[in-house]
Structure 1
Amino acid sequence: MSRRQVNLDADVLLLIFEMNTNIFTDRRALTTTRLSSQVCRTWRSTILDSTVLWGRLIDMDSLDRGGEEWRHEVLRRSGHSPLFVKGAKSLQWPEYHILCSHCKVSLCSRRGVSPSQRFFLSLVQNNWSRIERLSVSIGSHIADMFEPWPWQIMCSRPAPRLRVFEFHSTSIASFSHFNTKRIFGDYAPLLREFHAPYIPVKYSSAWSHNLRSVQIGPAKASSYGQLLLSLSSMTDLHIEEGSEMVFRELCHMQETTMDIMFPALEAIHMKSSSKELLDFLHMRRNLGLSLPVLNLAEVDEKASTVSLKTFAGFQVHHSRQQDDVRRNGMSQGYINLLFLYAFIVLMTPFAIPVFFPRTKDNALTLIAISNVCFSLLSFAIKFPGLLLQTGFIYHVAVTSFGAIIEKSRFTTALRASRRLHHPLYFLKLRSCFGQASGISTQRNGLHRNPSPLPDAIFHDDVVLCDSDLDFLC
């Protein structure tokens, strides 16, 4: 029986090839495209004739494994198309030191720069106006290896095509003398994401008004104050560790001038849980907000009661607005906060990621409540000395989760949770339920049987186990 040959439309074929060029999610994107170009003449001509494909494949880590000729060939194939540039491991400059016999000072040697790194610097300096997305992580002492520092020259030039700028380093000291008076030459009209927490940027209104996603780090608070006051269209805010001084200054600005409002804000990703940060946030009830990485175990004692009222008020209203579901006269959102607060008071060494779903996601609301309850249940089982009401926690968790038994709603919520990199603890607790039920009956005198788990979580197309959650059972 002969095989039937299927000829794809040229546009469809090109779209498939373009989907394979995402170097930010697929570390083999360049290799996949190269191998695809060797399948047949049609594929090869389609790929080689598309400069856009090659412009999206400037992955320095992947190019580092090739020779100098291959690196220049990929750049040549990109023509004059916009460039997507990524680099991490290949841009970590190794330290080679020369010891001066007179002053006993160790100086970095330029001999530590590899051919791949020299190619990268040349690429950025000679093609800066073509770069649409730049995501790099450099070594801590690059500033001492070149004079003048190429990043200062690069960032002072206009960036007409730049949309995403992600610039990270292993040391804050690398940016101590970074001159940012005219970053991007005050011209970056398409810039939407600026993730450079260690660069002390003096934000210019010429390009900051268009930003949608910003990453805040331990830089000068005054510069961030100017930025945040101008970001009325921001939808995504990233807050790094060490940002306490920034929000202390911003709180002072709110007292002396006016409130800083973010009407379009949809998500805050926090790696800091300081008192200054918690006091700064005042969540409007009609605003969808997601806090997937809130480490409440690191909140200092002074921030315990007052600061948590912000989150309690938002979650209580959020829970009532969605379902108006109450258990024993208390909203599930408030019950959730009580459990979390109990962990802070008990000073346990565990950190619980808290996920406040967006207001319109009803299924995610219930999953958030059930998720935290199940995580608390697992700790209560492994550490009976915590004296938590395991039977009551189990009942609330299962009951709230039972409201999303429809397979479609559960699958949607599960995918959304994975997209936000937030683990669903209850998926790993199936073997604990019988033990939990027994403990709760004996300890708390609860004679009612907990509601059975919905069949949806045992469906074949739902992944039940995650290697990252093995410590729970």
Structure 2
Amino acid sequence: MASNSANVHPSLNPVKPSLEEFRMHNASLPISRLNYDILIDIFMLNTVTDMKNRHLPSQTTRRSSQVCHLWRSIMLNYPMLWAASVDFEDHTPWMKQVVARSGSVPFPDIVVPSLSVYFLNHGLPRLRKSIIVREDNVLDVIPDLLYLFGDNVSEEMVAWVTPYLYQCRRFFIKISKRHWKHILENILQPLPILHTFSIVIKGSQQTQDSFELPEDLFSNHAPLLRVLDLRGCACHFSSPIFHTLTSLAIRKPSSPHLPTGRGWLEILGNMKDLRKLILICAFTPRDDDSATASMVSLPHLKTLVLEGDNSSCSEVFTHLDFNFDSLEMINVQCNKIRLDDHFTSTISCIHHHLNSSRITRDGLTVQCTPTGLKFDQKGICSQTSDRTYLSFSWFGSFSDRNIMAIFPSFMSVITRSCSEVTLLQLDFVHSAALQDSHIVEILSISPKVEELFIMMDYTLHRLLPILSLNPQDNPNHTSLFPLLRTVILEYVRLGEGNFYNDISTEFVAFVRKRSLMGSQIKEIVFIKCEVAKIITVELEELGVHVTNL
């Protein structure tokens, strides 16, 4: 009995235990005999925001230090633990205490405003990363979340945080345009350990003001800088401190001094290590067509995103030399499109890449709008299981709606690379210029389509008359989708109240005709649709499995 009583927790004894008895009991537990280095590793794991096991790192660190005297002693003597768990959402007194406990060690990440509340929000299931860890290629998600969700930051907070830039490896901040001066006050000093610099300026597009970082940024000394992500502001991109960048993302900068397409090529020629390049509305259209741009090699490129006027995007895209099959994502959107040499050279360049590609394309999305044409493709690399994403779009202006003039070239690109796709997704977005003959061409891309994904009422309304054609009724019409087994509808209304009164009847008739032709549809999936019960019953009577999501 005596030996058993020694294992009883002191708080359960009838006699009030002393502090020393509590400490002796805790010291006898197996967890108290763990090696200090193992304990520190465990504590450091809890400084990472894990969205599968949601917790606030700053609170977890604080509570861990209060478990027992041993833990508190270990944690207070390990400044990196506090530097790694600082959260600028905490109350100011505690936040300052954490910074003081960090001493002079580097802060791995400074994120202002804090995103902890969004990491813990179960209503955000589509976050692109399930776990935010301190890996260079994963922290890309932080600027996106700041742009989408970050709350307003007070001027006092900006003024308090920015002086710690010299002590930070990765710095992410979203500010109002009113607080721009505080950024400028703290970026002229050398930053020897800075790896990532990201700024989101809220409201910069709503003013004629210029937001441009100074030419002597970081006193031209940031030897470890690898990631530059700017939204709403610009800088002197030709500065030598950017030559070692591996990631460059510039989105809608407010500045009158943006490079032209050729200017960007000259800048990129000094960034041979780039793995990620994003330029969105970051061009000054050129007015001199006499000079010829030189090719720029980016052998390590994995992500390429370009958006801007047709001439600038075309010039950059067609003069970049990269391994097309090594890209994980390519997204090019050309605006103010015209049938000119720039458009022709872009199409030729796409053909060249697709002809040499070894990636199998297993999905295709075609979008037709009143002013634009777009296609997305997903593929599987033949060497690995990694999925790739490919997207090209061309948009005209509302004053010039002759977008279908580029349709033959648009189709030539799709046909060349999509003859084997098994999933086709269509979204026509009230494109009145889209004729039935155009739709037939799109639907005839691949005879191997097994899944057809249709978005919105208008798209279904345009498709049904063509899908329902029987080759015996029209000898000139080839049977579409002989292997089709699944139809997916999203944001479609079938039943009473539909704008297109007969769309429900036509859809059921289409399914019935497929069955009579021996090409029965096995499954229909409704995603966020309004479907009358009678429609579901009729489809199930035809042997179709119906799912509502």
Asked if these proteins are the same fold (TM beyond 0.5), I'd say yes
Question: Please, which of 86, 90, 104 is the counterpart of residue 80 of structure 1?
Answer: 104
SS at match of 1:137: strand
User: What are the Cα deviations for residues 117-176 of structure 1, in whole angstroms up to 9, with x where unaligned?
Assistant: 425423422x33211111001002224xxxxx3322311110011000001202155972
Question: Please, which of 292, 302, 306 is the counterpart of residue 266 of structure 1?
Answer: 302
Tell me how far 1:353 sits from its aligned partner.
Answer: 4.4
Question: Please, which of 278, 282, 289 is the counterpart of residue 327 of structure 2?
Answer: 289
Report the counterpart of residue 17 of structure 1 in structure 2: 43
Distance 1:237 1:367, change over 3 A: closer
SS at match of 1:214: strand
Question: Please, which of 205, 214, 217 is the counterpart of residue 183 of structure 1?
Answer: 217
Report the counterpart of residue 202 of structure 1 in structure 2: 236
Question: Please, which of 165, 177, 187 is the counterpart of residue 140 of structure 1?
Answer: 177
Letter in 2 for 1:86: V
Alignment of 1:31-180 (within 5 A): 31-60=59-88, 62-63=89-90, 66=91, 68-83=92-107, 84-88=109-113, 117-125=155-163, 127-143=164-180, 149-170=181-202, 171=204, 176=210, 178=212, 180=214
Gaps of 5+ in 2: 1-6, 8-28, 116-151, 392-416, 455-459, 472-476, 487-526, 530-547
User: What are the Cα deviations for residues 270-290 of structure 1, in whole angstroms up to 9, with x where unaligned?
Assistant: 454744213421354744223
Gaps of 5+ in 1: 91-113, 144-148, 324-331, 402-423, 427-431, 454-468
Report the counterpart of residue 29 of structure 1 in structure 2: 57
For the Cα contact (< 8 Å) 1:391–1:446, is it kept in 2?
Answer: no
Report the counterpart of residue 109 of structure 1 in structure 2: none
Which protein has greater RCO, CA pairs closer than 8 Å, 6+ apart? 1
For the Cα contact (< 8 Å) 1:232–1:263, is it kept in 2?
Answer: yes
Distance 1:216 1:317, change over 3 A: same
SS at match of 2:80: helix
SS at match of 2:272: coil
- TM-score, normalisation: structure 1: 0.61
For the Cα contact (< 8 Å) 1:292–1:356, is it kept in 2?
Answer: no
Whole-angstrom distance in 1 between the partners of 2:314 and 2:377: 14
Whole-angstrom distance in 2 between the partners of 1:231 and 1:32: 41
- TM-score, normalisation: structure 2: 0.54
Structure exhibiting the larger radius of gyration computed from Cα positions: 2
For the Cα contact (< 8 Å) 2:378–2:387, is it kept in 1?
Answer: no
Letter in 1 for 2:317: L
Alignment partner of 1:211 is 2:211: no
Alignment of 1:243-282 (within 5 A): 243-245=282-284, 248=286, 255-256=291-292, 258-272=294-308, 274-282=310-318
Higher strand share: 2
Of 184-193 and 164-173, deviating more is 164-173
Count of residues paired in the alignment: 373
User: What are the Cα deviations for residues 423-452 of structure 1, in whole angstroms up to 9, with x where unaligned?
Assistant: x979xxxxx9xx99x947847653985287
SS at match of 1:155: coil
SS at match of 1:276: helix
SS at match of 1:281: helix
C-alpha RMSD over aligned residues: 5.0
Tell me how far 1:41 sits from its aligned partner.
Answer: 4.7
Distance 1:55 1:446, change over 3 A: same
SS at match of 1:70: helix
Whole-angstrom distance in 1 between the partners of 2:418 and 2:69: 55
Higher helix share: 1
Report the counterpart of residue 308 of structure 1 in structure 2: 347
For the Cα contact (< 8 Å) 1:51–1:81, is it kept in 2?
Answer: yes
Report the counterpart of residue 143 of structure 2 in structure 1: none
Tell me how far 1:73 sits from its aligned partner.
Answer: 0.7
Whole-angstrom distance in 1 between the partners of 2:265 and 2:484: 50
Report the counterpart of residue 95 of structure 1 in structure 2: none
For the Cα contact (< 8 Å) 1:21–1:33, is it kept in 2?
Answer: yes
Letter in 1 for 2:279: I
